[in-house]
Structure 1
Amino acid sequence: MAARSDRILAGCPLPAWCTVPGQRIITLLQRGLTSMLETLTLGPLQTNCYVYADAGEAMVVDAAADADVILAAAGRLGARIRLIVCTHAHFDHIGALDALARETAAPVYVHSEDIPLLAAGGLLPANLTEDDLPGDLPSWFVPPPSLSATPIAITDGQHLPVGRADFEVLHTPGHTPGSCCLYCPEQAILFSGDTLFRLGVGRADLPGGDSHALLRSIKRRLFTLPDATVVYPGHGPSTSIGLEKRRNPFVRASV
């Protein structure tokens, strides 16, 4: 199951998935900001949901599943959820989106080009065969509830404040047309969704995917960031821009 789901949605080696703790809280100390970040690995495809908190405010990146778990994480960080951001709208990243939005009344942000996918429940296309999907898919796959709130379209270059921190939206199409990353230069961190993984890249052969656009996004938008930037991906462990520039086999093979 894990190997197949890794092949479908991640494009990164299976061992990387196995190294992610279920929960992890770290303190981010950079340029006068002291913030907290908790990583939650949720859902059957082990999607990373991030709860970033600063000055009593929290941003949720990819409400993958289990809204109660996400709410508890915000409570541990002593923060109130002020916004929910989707790096993209595949089903494994939005399972708790509606429940969390209802509970918190926080606005939901997604790129305009992924709003149709969000409206469809982030469903994988019907032309995939069972061989492409985890073997026990029928037992656990339930389409996410439709989002009752109206999502807010984000655009490239837009800034999203969280407490004293500021995140810039980087539109990185390829995995999906509306895939985005969130970059905070003050703390040198990047939430990369399914665009970039540790020694891997996002799958680009699903409808709406574009391998050429994906590599352009990585090279032109992500690899131009400082090497010390810490990358928090949608699946698997964290990495850095410098490491991926030197060692990512998928990007190096395209040079």
Structure 2
Amino acid sequence: MDWIRLPVGLLQANAYIVYDKQGSCLIIDPGDEAKKIHQFIRKKKLQPQAILLTHAHFDHIGAVEACREKYRIPVYLHEQEKKWLSNPHKNGSAQYEGAAPVVVQQADHLFSGEERVTVGAFSFDVLPTPGHSPGSVSFFFQESGFVIVGDTLFKKGMGRTDLPGGQEHQLIRSIREKLYTLPEDTYVLPGHDDVTTIVQERDDNPHVNGKT
């Protein structure tokens, strides 16, 4: 299994495409620039199976409808943010200067807790990691050694908690209990900026490790 990081949109949020040798793929957090996502899929001759959302902020969902309509695939999201997709005030697009209001139809499948999910040939663990937003989740692909964390954890940083529903103590607890407990060589694929690893962040992340 392989993956590619595609920074998209005004905030350069990371969209990810996870794909296997047979040509199936998952689209994760298609935040904008649908053409960029489509071009990679076409180049690799991939067959999308689903869209997975780590959370429902506008910079991670802006190209959902373009991808859902083109490939006729379902969308997965945590149930706590099911109303955010269609509400620009909840998903933040109404408040962000320079962003058009983002309205997305409801998700086809809702996560409710920690669970093992299989979509086509892909199996992964859904880890609830709230704090940046109430319904933030991470997708752990254990066999391939990586976790896609949205805006929960960054390289030497962590997600914002000053947005609606954000809670700093909850975010730190999510990172320590759900992410830092993963195998230390696990690659961390964040919602913005560069890839890191669990051991790097567990050892050197001042924003998480310096908190009590």
Unaligned runs of 5+ in 2: none
Q: Could you say which residue in structure 1 is the equivalent of 2:169?
A: 212
- Provide the aligned C-alpha RMSD in A: 1.8
Alignment counterpart, residue 135 of structure 2, candidates 134, 155, 178: 178
Alignment counterpart, residue 234 of structure 1, candidates 179, 183, 191: 191
Structure-2 change in CA distance of 1:150 and 1:89 (3 Å): closer
Structure-2 change in CA distance of 1:164 and 1:123 (3 Å): closer
The amino acid of 1:142's aligned partner reads: A
Question: 1:188, 1:228 within 8 Å by CA — same for their partners in 2?
Answer: yes
Structure-2 change in CA distance of 1:251 and 1:150 (3 Å): closer
Q: Could you say which residue in structure 1 is the equivalent of 2:101?
A: 143
Is 1:245 equivalent to 2:212 in the alignment? Answer: no
Question: 1:53, 1:74 within 8 Å by CA — same for their partners in 2?
Answer: no
Cα distance per residue 1:129-187 (max 9 Å; x no partner) = xxxx6xxx3xx31012x223543101333333355442110010100000000001101
Find the aligned partners of 1:111 and 1:215 in 2 and give their Cα distance.
19
Question: 1:59, 1:83 within 8 Å by CA — same for their partners in 2?
Answer: yes
Find the aligned partners of 2:76 and 2:119 in 1 and give their Cα distance.
13
Is 1:166 equivalent to 2:166 in the alignment? Answer: no
Q: Could you say which residue in structure 2 is the equivalent of 1:49?
A: 15
How many residue pairs were aligned? 210
Cα distance per residue 1:70-101 (max 9 Å; x no partner) = 12212223311110011000011111011111
Q: Could you say which residue in structure 1 is the equivalent of 2:50?
A: 83
Q: Could you say which residue in structure 1 is the equivalent of 2:83?
A: 116
The amino acid of 2:197's aligned partner reads: S
Rg bigger for which structure? 1
Question: 1:160, 1:166 within 8 Å by CA — same for their partners in 2?
Answer: yes
Question: 1:57, 1:79 within 8 Å by CA — same for their partners in 2?
Answer: yes
Higher relative contact order (CA 8 A, sep 6+): 1
Cα distance per residue 1:3-53 (max 9 Å; x no partner) = xxxxxxxxxxxxxxxxxxxxxxxxxxxxxxxx2212111001010000111
Alignment of 1:88-99 (within 5 A): 88-99=55-66
Structure-2 change in CA distance of 1:161 and 1:76 (3 Å): farther
Question: How many Å apart are 1:59 and its aligned residue?
Answer: 0.4
Structure-2 change in CA distance of 1:150 and 1:198 (3 Å): closer
Secondary structure (helix, strand or coil) at the match of 1:39 reads strand
Question: 1:125, 1:207 within 8 Å by CA — same for their partners in 2?
Answer: no
Question: 1:194, 1:234 within 8 Å by CA — same for their partners in 2?
Answer: yes
Find the aligned partners of 2:147 and 2:128 in 1 and give their Cα distance.
13
Question: 1:53, 1:77 within 8 Å by CA — same for their partners in 2?
Answer: no
Secondary structure (helix, strand or coil) at the match of 1:52 reads strand
Find the aligned partners of 1:245 and 1:177 in 2 and give their Cα distance.
23
Alignment of 1:58-69 (within 5 A): 58-69=25-36
- Which has the larger displacement, 204-213 or 240-249? 204-213
Secondary structure (helix, strand or coil) at the match of 1:221 reads helix
Secondary structure (helix, strand or coil) at the match of 2:69 reads helix
Question: How many Å apart are 1:124 and its aligned residue?
Answer: 2.2
Find the aligned partners of 1:180 and 1:233 in 2 and give their Cα distance.
12
Q: Percent identity at matched positions?
A: 36
Secondary structure (helix, strand or coil) at the match of 1:227 reads coil
Secondary structure (helix, strand or coil) at the match of 1:186 reads helix
Unaligned runs of 5+ in 1: 1-34
